[in-house]
Each structure stands twice: as structure tokens, then as C-alpha cells.
Chains A and B, each alone.
Chain A
């Protein structure tokens, strides 16, 4: 598809349905967006010891993140240079001192360099050489780490991670700053949900303040009935995080949506700072570690979902990270990670786990209606009932600032901002 045709699919206040339904565009996205952008790969705490590894996808590329013997984190294509076998099984594990291919037992150092090949005599006088990089596992082009969060780019050139993240960087820092010890670790398991819809639909939803009241009516209405009929009007934490979606228009209007270049954005927090015993104990730990003033500054950066386009979405207040992996034009895998703030109590972590179970799990009474409407979008978009997807809400009212755009609470500016990034990736000629 010609680049000028691609550009014509994105308008200031609408996009053409083909961006969600055309497999050829998905292929181009894999190359031009996921082949260039910084993509979240994993957290350093998932590979604590040399030889520990974690596998994932960067676009379509299976990669393995591994802790090298010198303590550095490497990210390599999970592909044996002999016949292409994936070297390690998907998931997490321990490679030992070397990677060893299950097919013909070639071995590789943890930085990917070929170390040994059986039947060496057979390679005499051939084009093979132990030192030729084509016979080693290929490292990804660029890797960068921030507070243990590891990102990779498959492109040699482009902005560095910090410049790329812009104002979204503060969400990552705040995520870790919220730990009294200034560090976080992945804990409590990972959930995986398959959405039957295009990956962009999920990103657009994350800061869509226009949807909770309509989409989530069933769960917040049910929670309110439980509160009324069973709990004498008291709303426990577990139901507060369901019921919050039912806030009235004025609440959503009062929020702020801040968008940054490269498609990132965040929305203000929608749950008030809790004042129960667990939260107060936590605040005390934070104050002891940082002093009252700094602790207050850390807690007052209270962001709901941050969008780190196009690969993940941290929720700093409840220590969640959702990782988005496009599988095909109409399949998106979402992985939900939970983090422990180092220096906090088990009771604090158990509340984090409650949030995961109630809001982000595949059996969430909240998320199930999101996933349903995403699928309805995917099915409806394919129809001839129309060609364009509207993003008109408060279009033309975005306030530009250095490095981004600001929108009022009910604006669709995060979506317009994502497509601003999308168009610039997709418009660039393939290197």
C-alpha cells in the first residue's frame, strides 16, 4: 500500500475502519511500529540470577530476555542460527551457564555468542566459522532499562528510551518510587487474556472516559445493590474498585488527560486515596523512607492507566502492568503482571492481588464487558454500514504544550494522539 494512501486513513477527527480490519495494514504495523518503537519486554526482577530467562514477543519476533553472567540483561531472538529452532520453551526458566539447542546441541553463551558445535570436523573447509555472527543468536538492536523495566527497539536508530517516553517516564519512576525501598518486583503470577479484537481498540479504551458509565453498568449496578442490600450501605475496598465506574458525568469531566508524543498518555486517578489501616501503615513506611514532604509528592502523583504506546499500560496506584501483544488483525493477547513494592507489608500486597483478581483477571466482572464491546467493535467495523470511526469528542479543543497535548476529561484526545504517532510511524519509508 502506498504511503499516501495510508496517510489518508487518519484524519484529525476520525480514522478509516481499515486500520482495524485490513491484515495488510497489520503486517505493516508489525514492521513499521513494532519494528521501530521501544517495546516493553519484561522486568529485571523476573530474571534475578545468571541464566534465568523470560520469553516474550516484540511484534512478531519471539525473544528471550536473559540475565548474563556479568549481571547484565540481554535480549536475544529466540532462534537457533542452525535450523531456526526456538532455543528455549516459552515462559520463564533457567538456561544454566549456556543456551543449548534441543535439536543438534549447538551451545551459546548467555550473550548469544556461539560457543560449541558438535561434529566440528564436518565444518572444516565450509563457510562456517565459530566467530561469524550469523552463527550466533542475534541480539535485538537496542535495549534500555528504567527502574528494572526493560524495553527494546528492533531499530538501530531512533530516540533513546527516555526521550521516547517523554512525560510517561514519570509514571515508571513513580511506580518504583512508591516502594519504600525504591524498587519493585514482579510477584503473584501472570494472567493472560485473549481479546478478539484489534490491539488498537484496547489502547483507545484505556483512557476513554466516555465508556465506564455505559460499558460497566452491569458491574457497578450489581455492586451497588450488594452494598445496599447486604452491607448496610458500606462499600468495602473490593467493591469500591468496581463501583467507581459509575461516577456521574461531572466526575469524568473534571479529570485531565495528558498526552505525549509517540502516542503516550495518562488519565487522572479515579479512586480516592484510601484512608484504611493498610494505607495508613503504608504511608508511614513511605514517610519513614523518604520524609513527609517527598512521600506526599510521590503519592500525589496519582495517575490511573498510563498508556505507553504501543506495548504496555502501568497502573501505578495498584501496581499493575498490562502488556499488550498483537497476535493478528483481530486477536490481542493481554498479559497482566502484578508487582510488589519492596518494603511494604503482605497485607498491602494482598490488596494489590485483590485488584488484579477483581479488575484485571479474565474472570473480572468489570473487564468482561470491555472485552465484549471490543469484540462488537471488531465485528461491526467489518460491515459496510460505514467507513469511518469517530474521534470527534472535543476534537479541535486539544491544548498543545511542549512535547504533547492536553485535553479535558471527556476528550478523545488520547485516541487522536495515538493516531498522530501511528501515522508518523506508518508514514516513514521502510529502511
Chain B
């Protein structure tokens, strides 16, 4: 489908703003983008359909996201001494589905992740955002799905939201 260019522009802008919040470690503001029962999901497998009966790298509701964001700012979060820094590029933004209640947006990302004393890590993959809300100003994330190209590979630890 070819979506309305203005809507695509608004969706891209939404994703860029989200990226800025994450790269700025503004966890609370980022979390506020989610709908009340919104989920943040990083599958362990390509094409994984089921987050409940199969392990995931992240499958976090509002409660688990709340713990993670608080932990990242805890004084004695040893693995955040010093903190993780990220910069990401989001592109190829397309609206792939749309109905009266919301839309699905697909994009690709590159994240550079770094901590002092550790190797810089390059992450890449695809985002799928299910946004609910009738107008751009009202969009909330019902599901943010992050498909890493190496989701089923050998991993170093993940700490910050991708």
C-alpha cells in the first residue's frame, strides 16, 4: 500500500523523536509513549510469533519496563558504571497497515552502543511499531517489536532499551 505522504512523515517523525528519547536516556519520557498495556518485545528468533511460550530477549510490560528504567539509574548498577551510550539511525520508514484505530509502521535501524572500557557494539535490525490512536498527536505504542538480525546468535548482555 502507498500511505498518505503526510502520515508517513508524521510516523517517521514519531520514530525519530522516540530514538532521541532513547539515545538521551530519557527513559520515563520514552515509557510514556506506550499505551497502558503496551509491550516492548525483542524476539529470540526470526519470525517468532509467540512471546508467551517461547523465550525472548525482552518481553516487557509496563511493570518490567519500570524496573528496567529505574535500575539503569540506580547508584549501584555496577554494569552502568559508566553508563551505556547509544546513537541510532532509523530509516526506511513505511506505514504497512492502517485502519480506523491505528497503524503499523516498519523501519530499519542501526544502533551504535558503547561503554567506557568495553568494545563498541553495532546492532542492526527492524522495528515494527503498532501505534494506536486516530491522529498523530494521540499515537501510543501498543507494541514495539525489535527484530535484531542476530537475535538467535551468541549475545553480550543487553541493558538499555533498543
Instruction: Give the interface of A toward B (CB within 8 A).
Output: 187-194, 215, 217-219, 221-223, 225-226, 230-231, 236, 238-239, 242, 333, 336, 338, 346, 349-350, 353, 356-358, 361-365, 367-369, 371-373, 376
Contacts and interface: CB of A to CB of B under 8 A. Distances in A.
B146 to A, nearest CB: 11
Interface string B141-162: 0000000000011111111000
16 contacts: A188-B55, A190-B55, A192-B153, A192-B154, A193-B157, A222-B67, A222-B68, A226-B63, A333-B154, A346-B52, A357-B55, A357-B58, A357-B59, A358-B64, A369-B79, A376-B78
A283 to B, nearest CB: 21
Nearest to A367: B157
B159 A363 contact: yes
B56 A368 contact: no
Contacts of B42: 363
Interface in B52-96: 52-59, 62-64, 66-68, 70-71, 74-80
Given A226-B67, A239-B67, A369-B77, A353 B155 contact: no
Interface in B7-48: 42, 44-45
Interface in B83-127: none
A333 B155 CA distance: 9
Interface of B: 42, 44-45, 52-59, 62-64, 66-68, 70-71, 74-80, 152-159
Contact of B63 (A230, A333, A372): A230
A356 B53 CA distance: 11
B66 A226 contact: yes
Given A189-B45, A221-B76, A369-B79, A356 B55 contact: yes
Given A230-B63, A372-B79, A362 B74 contact: no
B44 A191 contact: yes
Contacts, number: 112
B115 to A, nearest CB: 10
Contacts of B62: 230
A238 B155 CA distance: 23
Contacts of B157: 193, 362-364, 367-368, 371-372
A222 B27 CA distance: 14
B87 to A, nearest CB: 20
Nearest to B43: A189
A222 B45 CA distance: 29
A338 B157 CA distance: 19
A368 B156 CA distance: 9
A87 B68 CA distance: 43
A373 B44 contact: no
A368 B159 contact: yes
B155 A369 contact: no
Contact of B67 (A189, A219, A349): A219
B64 A372 contact: no
Contacts of A221: 71, 74, 76
Given A191-B55, A217-B76, 5 more contacts: A188-B54, A217-B74, A222-B70, A361-B58, A365-B67
A193 B154 CA distance: 6
Contacts of B63: 226, 230-231, 236, 238-239
A190 B154 CA distance: 10
A350 B52 contact: yes
A336 B157 CA distance: 14
Given A217-B76, A226-B63, A346 B53 contact: yes
Contact of A338 (B55, B57, B75, B154): B55
B156 A194 contact: yes
Kindly list the 10 A-B residue pairs having the minimum CB-CB distance in the complex, ordered from nearest: A372-B79, A218-B77, A363-B158, A222-B70, A222-B71, A218-B74, A362-B155, A192-B154, A217-B76, A189-B55
A225 B59 contact: no
Contacts of A336: 55
A362 B158 contact: yes
B53 to A, nearest CB: 6
Given A223-B67, A242-B67, A365-B67, A350 B155 contact: no
